[in-house]
Amino acid sequence: MPGGVLVVDFGAQYSQLIARRIRECRVFSAVVPHDAPPEEILALHPSGLVLSGGPASVYAPGAPALDPRLLELGIPVLGICYGQQAMTLALGGEVARTGAGEYGKTPITVRSREGMFHALPAEQCWMSHRDAVSRAPEGFTVTAETASSPVAAMENPQRRMYGVQFHPEVVHTPFGNDLLKWFLFEACDCSPTWTATHLIEEQVERIRAQVGDARAICGLSGGVDSAVAALIVHRAIGDRLTCVFVDHGLMRHNEGEQVEAAFGKHFGVPLVHVRAQEHFEAALAGITEPEEKRKTIGREFIRIFEREADKLKDARFLVQGTLYSDVIESGSRDAAKIKSHHNVGGLPEDMVVELIEPLRQLFKDEVRVVGEELGLPENMVWRQPFPGPGLAIRIIGEVTRERLDILRQADFVLQEEIRRAGLYRELWQSFAVLPAIKSVGVQGDERTYAYPIIIRAVTSDDAMTADWARIPYDILERISNRIINEVDGVNRVALDLTSKPPGTIEWE
């Protein structure tokens, strides 16, 4: 990866977000574990290293430590949050166990504009930490501070080492992208030449080497992720790829038919349509715990894929449209687990097929760029994210045929009104949730005892953070009236006003 920048991962939720921000600057970036041997990192010929944040205190038992040899490679280094603290300890500085945190938007004071703060309007940043650097290592100049972080930024231009306590990769640090650009183009001397085309070419080459002369099947859902994954693999191995669409009965209104129609029109590979609604309903009967739902659905998906693979000679590989947001929420070696995604943490341990995941390092918006590069139609590229477990994780409680039908109808009304209002492309996701509870209402002068429907709509760039969408009241009123009037079994509509964090986008 000549000219690229590696992100050394200390378990941060945002490690891949850093890599994504770097790629947005048209510089290739990839994530490597914090304990990758220095000789392996050096063999990749990186132009720079970024040390990520992390969830642990540097003083916590078993906290990931920085190998000091990484700082002797002669490569520019930028430490972010935990990364700055780990670099400080490795170089003989001090990190204070403050016991008090610094979170969210924070005023910052720049002491020097000789280096990375040159010409940057740095007045506010985004913090998320408890410990803080109290004394910079020898040879470093403190270039910024906040009320709780005496070393909010430090620099050693002679050794081309830099550190910041705040997070430049998040949008809440207004000058963050400019600071990263300074590191890439001034400290690392990178060139902005990387594009999505490079990713396609790299994945095609890797997949050809992985699959050899064997065959593969692709778990197709109809969304942009699995469609892009299928096109990349098809470009690599041609007709040795067969797509399998498992209709688990947990999809939205008419989606099964839409997937078949779209696939037949835009793809040149065979499609096997497995109708498995009753199978999944039986498997989910009596299950109410969210993690158990996800793992049950993940297991049953794999078992069906394995059966279909058995029907094809030498089909030893399963293609999935797994994204980085799926991976990080499901938990990695150092990152905290938020929830198991059916295609990551929900996979059974005794799988007999080998995974191919060409999008595992990407966020949704990056996948859309690749999809446009591959010529996917607009309605597929810009389809709102829909979880693999489908409506099962939008029913809070046991999944039954009755509840699925109610939720499917309510969600159809919501989607129709969102599109009619011209808001579909503005929202990251909009959907209905059905809690398995009932409340008293009055309709037609009679008492009712029926389900509520919760409307969930968020805006986001990458699904790592999200804000609740400010949908105009008249549109919300129209959605509520239609759901109550048109969907039997519903007598109340509520609106979810929670951002991520503290909530997740999906309810389960």
Task: List pLDDT tens digits, range 114-139.
Answer: 889 988 888 888 888 778 899 999 99
Inside any domain, residue 508: no
Number of C-beta neighbours around residue 481 at 10 A:
12
Which listed residue (102, 155, 169, 506) is catalytic? 169
pLDDT at residue 340, as a whole number: 42
Cross-strand partners of 194 = none
pLDDT at residue 342, as a whole number: 42
Exposure string of 348-386, with b = 16+ CB inside 10 Å and e = fewer, is eeeeebebbbbbbbbbbebbbbbbbebebeeebbebbbb
Residues 353 and 247 in one domain: yes
pLDDT at residue 100, as a whole number: 65
Q: Cα angle vertex 31, ends 26, 36, to 5°?
A: 140
| Band of residue 327 on the pLDDT scale cut at 50, 70, 90 | low
Residues 59 and 159 in one domain: yes
In CATH, what number is assigned to the domain containing residue 275? 3.40.50.620
Q: Would you say 4 and 27 are in contact if contact means Cβ atoms under 8 Å apart? A: yes
| Band of residue 339 on the pLDDT scale cut at 50, 70, 90 | very low
Residues 288 and 343 in one domain: yes
Whole-number average pLDDT of the chain: 87
DSSP tag of 500: B
In terms of pLDDT, which residue wins out, 315 or 406? 406
Q: Would you say 66 and 23 are in contact if contact means Cβ atoms under 8 Å apart? A: no
In CATH, what number is assigned to the domain containing residue 86? 3.40.50.880
- The span from the CA of 298 to the CA of 289, in Å, is 14
Please report the beta strands in 37-118, taking only residues with DSSP state E, as ranges in sequence order: 48-51, 77-80, 94-96, 102-107, 109-110
Final residue belonging to a domain, choices 127, 158, 187: 187
Which listed residue (34, 81, 218, 234) is catalytic? 81
Q: Would you say 14 and 169 are in contact if contact means Cβ atoms under 8 Å apart? A: yes
Total count of residues recorded for the chain: 508
pLDDT at residue 30, as a whole number: 84
Inside any domain, residue 504: no
Cross-strand partners of 39 = none
Residues 32 and 133 in one domain: yes
Residues 21 and 99 in one domain: yes
Please give the structure tokens belonging to residue 73. Answer: 């490679």
User: In 3D, which of 15, 59, 103 has the Cα closest to residue 361?
Assistant: 15
| Band of residue 382 on the pLDDT scale cut at 50, 70, 90 | confident
Could you confirm whether 169 is annotated as catalytic? yes
In CATH, what number is assigned to the domain containing residue 446? 3.30.300.10
Per-residue pLDDT for 331 more than 50?
no
Alpha helices in 241-398 (DSSP H): 255-266, 277-284, 290-310, 324-329, 364-373, 378-381
> Per residue in 35-67, pLDDT tens?
999 999 999 899 999 999 887 788 888 888 899
The DSSP annotation for 240-257 comes to GEEEEEEE-S-S-TTHHH
Cross-strand partners of 319 = 218, 356
Q: Which of 10-14, 321-325, 373-377 has the highest mean predicted lDDT (pLDDT)?
A: 373-377
Question: Is-cis flag, bond preceding 501, omega within 30?
Answer: yes
Inside any domain, residue 129: yes
Q: What is the distance, to the nearest Å, from the Cα of residue 505 to the centroid of all Cα atoms in its chain?
A: 11
Q: Which residues, 6+ apart, have CB-to-CB distance to 125 below 8 Å?
A: 105, 106, 108, 146, 152, 166, 167, 168, 172, 173, 175, 176
Please give the structure tokens belonging to residue 376. Answer: 């996917």
- The span from the CA of 370 to the CA of 253, in Å, is 27
Residues 470 and 450 in one domain: yes
Final residue belonging to a domain, choices 187, 211, 230: 187
Final residue belonging to a domain, choices 381, 411, 429: 381
- The span from the CA of 107 to the CA of 145, in Å, is 9
Per-residue pLDDT for 334 more than 70?
no
pLDDT at residue 296, as a whole number: 93
Count of structural domains within the chain: 3
pLDDT at residue 3, as a whole number: 65
pLDDT at residue 337, as a whole number: 39
| Band of residue 264 on the pLDDT scale cut at 50, 70, 90 | low
The DSSP annotation for 188-199 comes to S---S---HHHH
Inside any domain, residue 388: no
- The span from the CA of 85 to the CA of 53, in Å, is 9
- The span from the CA of 23 to the CA of 10, in Å, is 20
> Per residue in 397-450, pLDDT tens?
999 999 999 999 999 999 999 999 999 999 999 999 999 999 998 887 788 899
DSSP tag of 28: -
Inside any domain, residue 506: no
Please give the structure tokens belonging to residue 301. Answer: 């998906």
- pTM > 0.75: no
Residues 174 and 206 in one domain: no
Q: Which residues, 6+ apart, have CB-to-CB distance to 162 below 8 Å?
A: 76, 77, 78, 79, 115, 116, 153, 154, 155, 156, 183, 187
Could you confirm whether 506 is annotated as catalytic? no
141: three-class secondary structure by DSSP: strand
Which listed residue (34, 167, 234, 341) is catalytic? 167
- The span from the CA of 398 to the CA of 400, in Å, is 6
pLDDT at residue 68, as a whole number: 94
User: How far is residue 165 from each of residues 9, 403, 465, measured CA to CA in Å?
Assistant: 16, 48, 20
Q: Which domain holds residue 430?
A: 400-495
Could you confirm whether 198 is annotated as catalytic? no
Residues 413 and 363 in one domain: no
Q: Would you say 83 and 163 are in contact if contact means Cβ atoms under 8 Å apart? A: yes
- The span from the CA of 107 to the CA of 130, in Å, is 17
Please give the structure tokens belonging to residue 468. Answer: 């609740």
- The span from the CA of 220 to the CA of 242, in Å, is 10
Residues 408 and 448 in one domain: yes
Residues 346 and 205 in one domain: yes
Inside any domain, residue 203: yes
Inside any domain, residue 507: no
Inside any domain, residue 221: yes
Per-residue pLDDT for 344 more than 60?
no
Residues 55 and 145 in one domain: yes
Residue 227 is inside which H or E element, if any?
A: helix 224-237
| Band of residue 16 on the pLDDT scale cut at 50, 70, 90 | confident
Per-residue pLDDT for 237 more than 60?
yes
Residues 223 and 162 in one domain: no
